[in-house]
């Protein structure tokens, strides 16, 4: 990712999951400044950045993220983007991803937020 000066953040080609390599992270916090979603969070004790991994360890076993499976309000969904877009239409939800400004993608996000 362009915001990381040491290449500690990568976006996986196969599924778009963004991960932070904590062994490479120097704790400069540029990514926290650059992320419009506020996802990277600084761990002051370890002096490295952390973020949701989309439960990649579960995904690689064919499981959904833990928060998708455990959310009692069923507000979270995980899957192929086209299926999620269909679901948004079905539920008549309004897409509010911050990465979409004037119809163009500025951050090419893998997350979709709706209201
Ligand atoms: S805090 Fe870590 S992951 Fe974020 S930009 Fe700096 S080195 Fe990269
Ligand atoms: S449980 Fe949800 S928020 Fe936590 S790491 Fe997994 S996908 Fe991310």
DSSP tag of 7: -
**CATH assignment at residue 72:** 3.30.70.20
Residue 38 contacts residue 49 (beta carbons within 8 Å): no
**pLDDT of res. 97:** 64
pLDDT for position 101: 44
For the chain, state the CA radius of gyration: 15
Q: What is the pLDDT of residues 86-110, one digit of tens each?
A: 888 888 887 776 554 445 556 667 7
Q: Tell me if 98 is assigned to some domain.
A: yes
pTM of the model: 0.80
Kindly state whether residue 111 falls inside one of the protein's structural domains.
no
Count of domains forming the chain: 1
Domain assignment of residue 44, yes or no = yes
Query: Does a structural domain hold residue 2?
Result: no
pLDDT of amino acid 22: 96
Calculate the average pLDDT of the chain. 86
How many CB atoms neighbour CB 65 within 10 A?
Answer: 18
Four-residue CA torsion sign, 98, 29, 56, 1: positive
Give the pLDDT confidence score for residue 54 in this predicted structure: 94
22 assigned to some structural domain: yes
Range of the domain at 88: 9-105
Which residue has its alpha carbon closest to ligand 2 atom 6?
Answer: 55
Ligand 2 pocket test target in 20, 37, 51, 55 with most atoms within 8 Å of CB: 55
Task: Determine the distance from the C-alpha atom of residue 52 to the mean position of all C-alpha atoms in its chain, rounded to a whole number.
Answer: 7
The closest-lying atom of ligand 2 relative to the alpha carbon of residue 54 is 7
- 4 within a domain of the structure (yes/no): no
């Amino acid at each position: 990712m362009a915001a990381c000066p040491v290449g500690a953040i990568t976006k996986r080609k196969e599924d778009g999951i963004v991960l932070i390599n904590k062994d490479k992270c120097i704790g400069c916090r540029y990514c926290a400044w650059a992320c419009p979603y506020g996802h990277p969070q600084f761990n002051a004790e370890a002096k490295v950045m952390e973020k949701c991994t989309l439960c990649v360890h579960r995904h690689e076993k064919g499981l959904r993220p833990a928060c998708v499976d455990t959310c009692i309000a069923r507000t979270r969904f995980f899957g192929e983007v086209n299926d999620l877009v269909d679901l948004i239409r079905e539920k008549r939800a309004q897409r509010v991803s911050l990465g979409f400004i004037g119809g163009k993608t500025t951050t090419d996000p893998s997350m979709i937020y709706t209201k």
